[in-house]
Amino acid sequence: MDSIMQTEKKCFICARRKYLEEHHIFGGTANRKKSEKHGLKVWLCYEDHRGNSGVHFNRVVDLALKAAGQKKFEETHTREEFRKEFGKSWL
Ligand SMILES: [Zn+2]
Ligand SMILES: [Zn+2]
C-alpha cells in the first residue's frame, strides 16, 4: 500500500527530494509487513535514513516517527486495534 503519511515524495524530515529511500516505520519481520499493509512508511533522504544521525541510528527520531505513525493509524482505528496489530503502544 502507498504511504498514508505523505502525499508528496520528499524526505519526511528535511523535505529534500534527492537520494530518497523508503522507511517502514515499524520494523522487525512482522511489523515491517504490517507497516507495508497499512501504508505506515515514509520517504527519507539517505542522511535521515541511514546516516549517522538517521532514524536507524537515532532513537529520538525513531520514536518520533513511531509516534507520528501511530497517530496517523489512530485517525481511522482505535488504540486497542493499534496494540493488537503492532504489539504495543508508542503513545
Ligand atoms: Zn532528509
Ligand atoms: Zn528504514
Report how far ligand 1's centroid is from the alpha carbon of 42 (Å). 11
Q: Quick one: which ligand is closest to 23's CA?
A: 2
Residues in the chain: 91
What is the model's pTM?
A: 0.94
pLDDT at 69: 98
Who contacts 11 (Cβ-Cβ below 8 Å, separation ≥6)? 17, 20, 43, 44, 45, 48
Average pLDDT over residues 80-89: 97
Gap from CA of 36 to ligand 2 centroid (Å): 12
- List pLDDT tens digits, range 26-83: 999 999 999 999 999 999 999 999 999 999 999 999 999 999 999 999 999 999 999 9
CA of 23 relative to ligand 2 center, distance in Å: 4
26 close to 40: Cβ distance less than 8 angstroms: yes
Q: How do 41-45 and 20-24 pair as beta strands?
A: antiparallel
Which pLDDT does position 22 carry in this prediction?
97
pLDDT band for 1, please (50, 70, 90 cuts).
confident
Contact 29, 89 (CB under 8 A): no
